[in-house]
């Protein structure tokens, strides 16, 4: 069994910034060619590619595609696979709206389910058969602590992330015996971050900061004290490190898991 990821190719959705970009960097450092993705301006695309290229990994290319549109998801995967066969798929792109069930609209529900769950369904069904045929494949779905527990005012997001964890378990079972230890196997896992320093938590940080006279650090501390026993946020690079670990050929039997990086949140 090869013990390196050099020469592999990854598609990482939502990778122009935040956790997605950190994952792309972690994989690139392992010698992986990375297909970046996002809704970004040409300058933002170029900056993301330059950032990944600077760590000295494999080739880098940026692909566009609105994940709310199934046809665009299919076109994204087709374009990436035409570039290189996809060995590693990281479904990272996600959106969130803080809204109660009574206030939520069907439009909000549809958008969150489309990006956070349905797009992953499409990328997985399109990429996994090729991985199985080649004998090696890794799917890492960036779920959330909310794929394991609930929170008020997040029904669409929690539903999508619970669905992502469940779908990943099914895919892990369906592909568990599709390859061999020598080839590396095909695995499907979820990472479930708690409070992580990304743009998606900024509205919640701002709301808590407003309760503390505009003090951002006090707002973060308030969020952590409520849910995360470590009282520390995670850095996106930590999610990248775990993703690269899950992709190692030696992890051929680590499949069907939902791994929290949540400072003990879900241990309570």
Residue 42 has pLDDT above 60, yes or no: yes
pLDDT at 126: 98
DSSP H stretches of helix in 4-62: 18-29, 42-53
**Which residue in 157, 175, 195, 265 is the catalytic one?**
157
Residue 29 banded pLDDT, cuts 50, 70, 90: very high
Does the pTM of the predicted model rise above 0.85? yes
Dump pLDDT digits (tens) for 87-133.
999 999 999 999 999 999 999 999 999 999 999 999 999 999 999 99
User: 119-134 and 155-175 are packed helices; what angle lies between their axes, rounded to 10 degrees?
Assistant: 20
- Annotated active-site residue 175? The verdict is no
Topology adopted by domain 9-194+235-259? Rossmann fold (3.40.50)
d(CA 17, CA 40): 10
Residue 3 banded pLDDT, cuts 50, 70, 90: low
Give the list of residues 6+ apart from residue 249 with CB closer than 8 angstroms, or none: 1, 2, 3, 4, 5, 136, 184, 185
Residue 2 has pLDDT above 50, yes or no: no
d(CA 152, CA 224): 16
d(CA 187, CA 178): 10
pLDDT at 1: 37
First to last CA, the chain: 39
Q: What are the domain boundaries of the chain?
A: 9-194+235-259, 197-233
pLDDT at 209: 87
Residue 157 has pLDDT above 60, yes or no: yes
């Amino acid at each position: 069994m090869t013990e390196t990821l050099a020469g592999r190719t990854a598609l990482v959705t939502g990778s122009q910034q935040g956790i997605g970009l950190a994952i792309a960097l972690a994989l690139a450092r392992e010698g992986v060619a990375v297909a970046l993705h996002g809704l970004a301006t040409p300058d933002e695309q170029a900056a993301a590619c330059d950032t990944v290229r600077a760590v000295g990994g494999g080739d880098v290319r940026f692909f566009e595609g609105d994940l709310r549109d199934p046809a665009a998801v299919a076109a994204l995967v087709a374009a990436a696979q035409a570039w290189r066969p996809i060995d590693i798929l990281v479904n990272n792109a996600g959106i969130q709206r803080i809204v109660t069930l009574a206030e939520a609209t069907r439009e909000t529900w549809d958008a969150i389910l489309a990006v956070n769950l349905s797009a992953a369904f499409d990328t997985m069904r399109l990429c996994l058969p090729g991985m199985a045929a080649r004998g090696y494949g890794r799917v890492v779905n960036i779920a959330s602590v909310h794929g394991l527990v609930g929170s008020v005012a997040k029904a669409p997001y929690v539903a999508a992330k619970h669905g992502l964890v469940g779908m990943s378990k099914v895919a892990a079972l369906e592909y568990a015996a599709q390859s061999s230890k020598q080839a590396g196997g095909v695995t499907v896992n979820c990472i479930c971050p708690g409070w992580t320093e990304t743009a998606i938590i900024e509205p919640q940080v701002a709301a808590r900061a407003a309760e503390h006279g505009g003090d951002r650090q006090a707002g973060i501390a308030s969020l952590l004290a409520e849910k995360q026993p470590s009282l520390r946020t995670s850095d996106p690079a930590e999610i990248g490190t775990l993703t690269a670990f899950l992709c190692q050929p030696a992890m051929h039997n680590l499949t069907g898991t939902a791994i929290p990086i949540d400072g003990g949140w879900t241990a309570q």
